[in-house]
Structures are given as structure tokens and as C-alpha cells.
């Protein structure tokens, strides 16, 4: 498995870019997975459903399965949050794992930057950032490769070429 992250301020377009990249990577024959870090409590379950009720009753894990998909919901119940390494190790085998969030992780990352967000660039302070997808792309003075945020084909090639083997050497 190879891994690459996406770092950027809220509203910069990380999720939209990833959504555009995934089909371009899949069409190349890659099995792509994603680890997304949430900074807040979230729930993928619906109150009132059996799985929700079982978790509320105290189950640590509830696995819901159908002929179309399965979902494993794991309650930490006070245990520490997963590290990125632990999250990646829980993925099923894949060719490429995309990581959204975990912006301090020492994995190669593509910075997603949008001038309209009004926030500073991250790459000057993060040696793990290997490229920038920007809007607008032409105004950045950087040694890193810069791509137009609206050019997912070029970004997909860069992502594929710069993803690192996992686990990464220390």
C-alpha cells in the first residue's frame, strides 16, 4: 500500500479535490481507500435503528452487513483516539490510501490552498508537503510543484507518483 495526505484549511477544497481524484485513480486500476480525521464527534449511525440501539446499550463494536456493503462502528468508550498508523493498519488491502486530516503526520502531503479562504500557506512550515494544488495557481512563489485546483488529472498523476510505501521507514 502507498499513502499520501491532503492538508489545507477548512473550505480550501480538500474533499472536493479528493472526490474528483478517486475516479481518475480507480480508472488506472488502483484500489483506493481513504482515512479521514474528524476534529469533532461524528456519527454514521441513525438514532432508533437497531445498530444505534445496540451501541447505546453498551456494545463496543457493531458490524452492519448487507449484500451491498458493511460498516463497522467502534466505540472508543474512553480509549485513546487512533493514530494515523493504527487507522491505516485497519484498512483492507489497497493500492493507495488517501489521508484527509492528520496534517501533522510525517507522510507526503499535497497542500490544497485557495486564496479566497484568506489563510496562509502551510508548506513553508511542513517539510512533508511535496506539492500544492491551488486556486489561483499562478501566484505562488514556491520551490514545490504547483497545480491548478481545477486540474484533477494532473493532480492525480502527481499523487500517484509521490505516494509513499506504507509502512514508511523510520
Cα torsion 128, 7, 9, 11 to 10°: value is: 160
Give pLDDT, residue 139. 79
d(CA 100, CA 96): 13
d(CA 30, CA 24): 9
Give pLDDT, residue 169. 67
Q: Between helices 152-162 and 14-26, what is the axis angle to 10°? A: 80
Per-residue pLDDT in tens (0 to 9) along the chain, 170 residues: 999 999 999 999 999 999 999 999 999 999 999 999 987 777 788 899 899 999 899 999 999 999 999 999 899 988 999 999 999 999 999 999 999 988 889 999 999 999 999 999 999 999 999 999 999 988 788 999 999 999 999 999 999 999 999 987 65
Measure Cα distances from 29 to 16, 25, 34, 96 in Å: 21, 7, 16, 11
Give pLDDT, residue 109. 97
**At which residue does the C-alpha cell 491548478 appear?**
148
| Alpha helix positions (H), 9-104 | 14-26, 50-57, 84-90
Q: Which of 40, 65, 66, 62 is nearest to 52 (CA)?
A: 62
Give pLDDT, residue 38. 85
Give pLDDT, residue 124. 95
The domains found in the chain, sorted by start residue, are 2-43+81-165 (3.40.50.300)
What would the DSSP string read from start to end of 141-168? --SS-EEETT-HHHHHHHHHHHPEESSP
Give pLDDT, residue 170. 59
Amino acid at each position: 500500500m502507498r499513502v499520501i495526505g491532503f492538508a489545507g484549511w477548512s473550505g480550501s477544497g480538500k474533499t472536493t479535490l479528493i472526490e474528483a481524484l478517486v475516479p481518475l485513480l480507480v480508472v488506472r486500476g488502483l484500489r483506493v481507500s481513504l482515512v479521514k480525521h474528524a476534529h469533532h464527534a461524528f456519527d454514521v449511525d441513525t438514532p432508533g435503528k437497531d445498530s444505534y440501539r445496540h451501541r447505546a446499550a453498551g456494545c463496543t463494536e457493531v458490524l452492519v452487513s448487507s449484500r451491498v456493503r458493511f460498516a463497522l462502528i467502534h466505540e472508543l468508550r474512553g480509549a485513546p483516539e487512533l493514530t494515523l498508523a493504527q487507522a491505516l493498519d485497519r484498512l483492507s488491502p489497497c493500492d493507495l490510501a488517501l489521508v484527509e486530516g492528520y496534517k501533522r503526520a510525517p507522510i507526503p502531503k499535497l497542500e490544497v490552498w485557495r486564496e479566497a479562504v484568506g489563510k496562509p500557506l502551510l508548506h513553508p512550515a511542513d517539510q512533508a508537503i511535496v506539492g500544492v494544488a491551488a486556486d489561483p495557481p499562478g501566484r505562488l512563489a514556491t520551490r514545490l510543484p504547483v497545480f491548478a485546483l481545477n486540474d484533477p488529472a494532473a493532480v492525480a498523476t502527481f499523487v500517484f507518483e509521490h505516494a509513499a510505501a506504507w509502512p514508511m521507514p523510520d
